[in-house]
Amino acid sequence: MHLLLATITLRPYVFIFLASFLFISIVTFGLRTTLLFTVITYCVSLACEWSSVHNGFPFGLYHYIEATRGREIWVFGVPFMDSLSFTFLGFASYTVALLLSAPLYRRGADLRLLDTWRIRRAPRVWLMSALFMVMIDWVVDPLSVLGDRWFLGKIFWYDPPGPHFGVPISNYLGWYFVAAITIAVFVVLDAVINRGVERLRGALPAMPSRALLGPALYAGIAIFGITMLFRIGASEIAWASVFIYLPFTALAIHIVTRADCYGDAAAVERHLVDFPGERGLAIWNEHAAPPSASPRRRSA
């Protein structure tokens, strides 16, 4: 317990993102889904980090500096907070992929996803989730390499350093590998465990614009990383990150504001068949037509 409290004190920003992930995931997907995602992602990322430290797969060879051993939790030679970070990074990336893949429903400022189990299992969702997670790492890892210039501290080094601001390309390939594996396993097990459940424990279907909470967490992590890069004087890395995210942000806004991205009554019904616990909401009023009658570009 002493080490846990010390870990939280030493890495408060990690646990702020973790707490945000747990809250958003529980109210959006329910407690069981949140626990499932957390356990799968943490176990896979810990195994891959242990492997990379010892033999260089899949992230490339790197070494942790044990300066904080005894001041924070370490698991099998890996700082606990490091593998734990994959959970909220993966979740945020997954919600962005869902937002850009599923039909949408909007009433006023309330934006909803009309996702189905079929959409959640679609290859484009888990492949995009992995890509969006790598995009986060394009900001996070160059920042982490410079940990001695901010409150992270110097905790590891690549052997040898790579061409992307000191980060090897193998690291980003490894992140894609880990994210693709974890999301693929998660969506299969999630459907097995939760399909047909009338009401997911902990979920709050009535919460307005739940569809934007996960993407907001993703944006918050990216903004935090870019802001820290500017603060420590790594402006070339910060501007490179800005130019990576500008076209992506413009494309995402374009997608969610297009009329043909909003589902019709059939899309609403398909969503309710898979997630019947949301039928009682006012937005699913069967006597009210969806706000957009335009043809849908994306099908369920």
**What domain range is 245 assigned to?**
2-284
Mean pLDDT estimate for the chain: 89
Buried b (16+ CB within 10 A) or exposed e, 203-240: bebeeeebbbbbbebbbebbebbbebbeebebeebbeb
**Number of domains, the chain:** 1
41 in a structural domain: yes
> 106-128: per-residue pLDDT in tens?
887 888 899 999 999 999 999 99
The predicted structure's pLDDT at residue 121: 93
Q: Is 292 or 200 the better-scoring residue by pLDDT?
A: 200
The predicted structure's pLDDT at residue 292: 44
> 32-51: per-residue pLDDT in tens?
999 999 999 999 999 999 99
6 in a structural domain: yes
Is the pTM for the entire model greater than 0.85?
A: yes
294 in a structural domain: no
Task: Please report, rounded to a whole number, the percentage of residues in the chain having pLDDT higher than 70.
Answer: 92
